[in-house]
Amino acid sequence: MPKSKQSDSKQLESEQSDFKTSESAKEAHKKPDFNPEPWIRPNIRTLTPYHAARDDYHEGILLDANENSLGPAIPTDLPLHRYPDTRLDDLRRKWADFRGISMEQVFVGVGSDEAIDLLMRVFCEPGRDDILIIPPTYGMYKVAARINNVGVSESALNKHFELEARAVLSRVTQHTKMIMMCSPNNPTANVLNPVEIERVLKDFNRLVVVDEAYVDFSDSGSLCRLMDRHPNLVILQTLSKSFGLAAIRMGAALAHPKIIEWMMKVKAPYNVNQLTADAAMLAFDHVEKMHEKVRKIIAERNRLAAELASHPDVVTVFPSDTNFLLIRIKDAKEWYKRLASRGVIVRYRGDQIHCEDTLRISVGTSTENDHLIKELYDSANASDH
Ligand SMILES: Cc1ncc(COP(=O)(O)O)c(C=O)c1O
């Protein structure tokens, strides 16, 4: 619940004690009776997937894929003339081990944006089906739906940014194919109550997608632990945030193997490039480095939150389980423009429901944050005169 000024976000801890990480998440693929096929678009159900040259043989004298046998036309020693692996099982295994699930439960793609788009293309019939989103939330769900000519219905979080399962379920119709949630949520920065998420999972007999882009910044842990109980759960993750690898474009969908199989059938054969796959493998070999950076960002986030809270125009610093802060500030739009004119770029979020007069501020380096604070105080003093 948003408290006035800066505060810790510990309110969910007691509710979360029911949801200890479950070893049996690895066993989800042993639910043989789960069959998502009736949810799949009819044209996808009958699709014969593209069969790539490298699906059969990886080694030998490779004359099967019309590659350039003389190598890349740039100065490099990397074998960039070869198509990358189509399945990336080694990377999928590393991701699975990191989250305590099995390789068959992991799809890897070009950022989580690819997974969002692919889920719509696999499950939602254009012109007929809908997704249900829970604003205020990440804007890409709606955009991906619109691109795919999939309808969008909405059930907002309450004004404390909390999920209410009953309200969400009341908006479901026969056309609702997916409910998209984000936890910790962008832009509100809070974790959604897992008890409410589980209620939705239990009572909605289609896909519930939970975007965990910011999960490593929160104490609540991944909802992968619910996958054994709820095969309709799809979790989105990304290397763009906690791992600091936004440039390589690497994201994942974690779900029941039968859902992953359908995504693998529909994805472009060589969706992930080799440089990205190599960097992602390296990321999972250095998880401690990720945790170290996350700890620093959280410390810096708490410092920044305290500084912002004592600014005269700041009304609320909302609790954050992410690497950004949402603040309510008098004349947010003016502040947004004023900061931009002084070279500090933040995001105005005041046009989203329950977010009147808010700015979303990514936690920067300590120097960047000092700069932001200085500009906020200098501009406030200047406008006093
Ligand atoms: C909630 C959420 N999901 C996904 C993404 C994007 O992830 P990716 O870089 O993997 O496409 C973002 C980026 O801001 C985000 O806020």
Q: For residue 303, what are its two tokens?
A: 């410092």
Question: Are 181 and 146 in the same domain?
Answer: yes
362 close to ligand 1 (CB < 6 Angstrom): no
* Domain CATH for 143: 3.40.640.10
355 and 248 assigned to the same domain: no
263: pLDDT strictly greater than 80: yes
Residue that the structure tokens 């014969």 belong to: 48
- Residue 305 belongs to what domain range? 289-384
Shared domain for 340 and 224, answered yes or no, is: no
Cα–Cα dist 147/130, whole Å: 13
* Atom from ligand 1 closest to the CA of residue 114: 11
Cα separation, 275 vs 171, in Å, equals 43
Q: Note the pTM of the prediction, 2 decimals.
A: 0.91
Cβ of residue 358 lying under 6 Å from some atom of ligand 1: no
Longest dimension (CA), the chain: 76
Q: Which atom of ligand 1 is nearest to the CA of 113?
A: 11
pLDDT over 60 (residue 4): no
CA of 13 to the centre of ligand 1 (A): 25
pLDDT classification of 3: cutoffs 50, 70, 90: very low
The pLDDT value given to residue 20: 35
Q: Tens digit of pLDDT for each residue in 138-164?
A: 999 999 999 999 999 999 999 999 999
pLDDT exceeds cutoff 90 at 16? no
Q: Give the pLDDT confidence score for residue 52 in this predicted structure.
A: 86
- At 341, which CATH number? 3.90.1150.10
| 295 and 277 both lie in a single domain | no
| Residue-wise pLDDT tens digits, 189-215 | 999 999 999 999 999 999 999 999 999
Statement: residue 6 has pLDDT above 60: no
Does position 359 have pLDDT exceeding 80, yes or no?
Answer: yes
Domain shared by 87 and 19, yes or no? yes
Q: Per-residue pLDDT tens for 321-353?
A: 999 999 999 999 999 999 999 999 999 999 999
4 lies in some domain: no
**Residue 214 class from Cβ within 10 Å (0-12 exposed, 13-18 middle, 19+ buried)?**
buried
Residue 5's pLDDT is 43
Task: Report, as an integer, the average pLDDT of 15-44.
Answer: 65
Residue 138 beta carbon below 6 angstroms from any ligand 1 atom? yes
86 and 18 in a single domain? The answer is: yes
Is any ligand 1 atom within 6 A of the Cβ of residue 238?
yes
User: Tokens representing 135?
Assistant: 């604003």
Where a domain ends, among 285, 314, 340? Answer: 285
pLDDT tier at 53, thresholds 50, 70, 90 = confident
Same domain, 213 and 293: no
Mean pLDDT, rounded, of the chain: 92
Q: How confident is the model at residue 55 (pLDDT cuts 50, 70, 90)?
A: confident
When pLDDT is averaged across residues 291-304 and rounded to a whole number, the result is 98
Q: What pLDDT, on a 0 to 100 scale, did the predictor assign at position 353?
A: 96
Which tokens belong to 248? 């390589």
- Residues 76-95 have a mean pLDDT of 96
Tell me if 8 is assigned to some domain.
no
Q: What is the pLDDT of residue 41?
A: 97
What is the Cα–Cα distance from 156 to 164, expressed in whole angstroms?
Answer: 9
Q: What pLDDT score does 33 carry?
A: 87
Residue 328 burial class via C-beta count within 10 angstroms: exposed 0-12, middle 13-18, buried 19 and up: buried
| Within a domain: 118 | yes
Asked if residue 129 belongs to a domain, the reply is yes
pLDDT confidence of residue 7? 42
* Last residue within a domain, chosen from 239, 267, 285: 285
CA distance 242 to 234: 20
Is residue 18 scored above 60 in pLDDT?
no
Do 209 and 276 fall within a single domain?
yes
Contact status, residue 51 vs residue 255, Cβ threshold 8 Å:
no
Query: Could you tell me if the CB of 240 is within 6 A of ligand 1?
Result: yes
State whether 23 and 122 are in the same domain.
yes
Distance of CA 297 to the CA centre of its chain: 18
Joined tokens for residue 306: 């305290």
- Domains in the chain, number: 2
User: How many Cα neighbours within 13 Å face the side chain of 315?
Assistant: 11
| Mean pLDDT within 3-29 | 41
Q: pLDDT above 90 covers what percent of the chain?
A: 87
355 and 271 inside one domain: no
Same domain flag for 333 and 256:
no
The confidence score (pLDDT) of residue 14 equals 34
- The rounded Cα 128 to chain-centroid distance in angstroms is 26
Q: Identify whether 354 is part of a domain.
A: yes
Residue 31, pLDDT score: 65
In a domain, 111, yes or no: yes
Signed CA dihedral, 53, 59, 64, 70: sign only: positive
- Please check whether residue 363 lies inside any domain of the structure: yes
Averaged pLDDT, 28-50: 86
Asked if residue 128 has pLDDT above 90, the reply is: yes
Band (pLDDT 50/70/90 cuts) for residue 381 is confident
Residues 380 and 320 in one domain: yes
112: Cβ below 6 Å to ligand 1?
A: yes
Residue 2 lies in a domain: no
Q: Which of 262, 285, 308 is the last residue of a domain?
A: 285
pLDDT of residue 138: 97
Give the residue with greater pLDDT, 372 vs 2.
Answer: 372
pLDDT confidence of residue 8? 38
Report the nearest-CA residue for atom 11 of ligand 1.
Answer: 111
The predicted pLDDT at position 27 comes to 54
| Per-residue model confidence as pLDDT tens digits over 300-328 | 999 999 999 999 999 999 999 999 999 99
The residue-averaged pLDDT of 39-68 equals 91
Question: Could you tell which of 118, 134, 140, 191 is best to mutate to test the pocket of ligand 1, judged by most ligand atoms within 8 Å of the CB?
Answer: 140
Res. 58 pLDDT band, cuts 50 70 90: confident
Share of the chain above pLDDT 70, in %: 91
